[in-house]
Structure 1
Amino acid sequence: MKENLYLRPATVDDARLIFEWANDSKVRENSFNTDDILWDDHLAWFNRTLADESTLLFILMKDDAPVGQVRLANSDKWQISYSIASVYRGQGYGKLILQLAENELVVEGHGGEKLYAEVKMDNIASQKIFTGLDYWMSESEHVGALAYVKIVGN
């Protein structure tokens, strides 16, 4: 049987799930702010994010199981942030979630716009994913990080 993989928009019911993923030790290690996230802070951020029309937040689903999350926040470019649940890491879902997010932007009429991601120097897995998806290196806004850029739909 073929697995059904798709993105669905995050809802208020996903607050706890994303909170747990965000506080995963590997996620904290690969984040620019490595401190644990407090529930009240997360909930305030999560509600702002869902209400923000310039931010898209999706959950990657494998059949009925949540696999990871991807956030696309638009200012002058679409800033990417994503994570994969620990039980699904190393299985190609990082690349898949980004491909599906790019597709969502094209469907929503954002073809030709810029995607931007920053990755810590020691996060080799994410670096491989971005280079494998034809992102090119750019100047990072953080010390100790690499930046990746791609035009949506290219």
Structure 2
Amino acid sequence: MEIKLRYVNEQDKWIIYNWSNDVTTRKMSFNSKEISKEQHDLWFESLLASSRCWIAELAEGSLPVGMFRVNGEGIVGISVSGDYRGKGIGTSILEEAIKLLEREKEIHHISDLVAFIKIVNEPSISLFKKAGFGCEGITEYSGSVCYKYVYKL
């Protein structure tokens, strides 16, 4: 499926909230507790201000299917709607995000993309490997033992 990326906007707030509180998403996140609406409000406002978060839409029909974000240190996060997991959407999102960041790396001042992935999160491990990220070993991140995957832009 072909996807396109667009910057996150205010209308995306609650769809991202729902994706973030999905049972599988919470299980694979470093903080597995449900996110309150108040926490999401604060986080979302900072996300909008960062200009480093994109919604992935199906190219045909503009249906939101996922999200990609990267912070100032190059640490990435990706979410895929539960309805679209296991269909290659995550790979498409990551590939499009890499292309975008390679074109705009001077704008975002990022040279490496870094993914910290829980050891039990096999779908994400597979996704980042497919996208060309290399494993740099096991480390600790956010209080959890995880893999560190890196992609050189």
Q: Does 1:59 align with 2:55?
A: yes
Q: How does 1:105-124 map to 2 (within 5 A)?
A: 105-110=101-106, 113-124=111-122
Aligned to 2:66: 68
Unaligned runs of 5+ in 2: none
What's the TM-score, normalizing by structure 1?
A: 0.88
Match of 1:134 among 113, 116, 132: 132
The amino acid across from 1:106 in the alignment is E
**Distance of 2:89 and 2:2 partners within structure 1:** 13
Moved over 6 A (4+): none
Shift of 1:104: 1.1
Comparing 17-26 and 123-132, the one that deviates more: 123-132
Match of 1:35 in 2: 33
Unaligned runs of 5+ in 1: none
- How large is the RMSD of aligned CA atoms in angstroms? 1.7
Equivalent residue pairs, number: 146
Q: Residue type of the partner of 1:148?
A: Y
Contact 1:28 1:36 in 2 (8 A): yes
Measure how far apart 1:141 and its partner are: 3.2
Task: Pick one of 5, 8, 22 that aligns with 1:7.
Answer: 5
CA distance in 2, matches of 1:4, 1:83: 17
> Percent sequence identity over matched residues?
29
2:90 to 88, 94, 118: 94
Residue 7 of structure 1 aligns to which amino acid in structure 2? Answer: L
Q: Cα–Cα, structure 1 residues 136 and 35, in superposed 2: closer, same or farther, change >3 Å?
A: same
Relative contact order, CA 8 A, sep 6+: which one is greater? 2
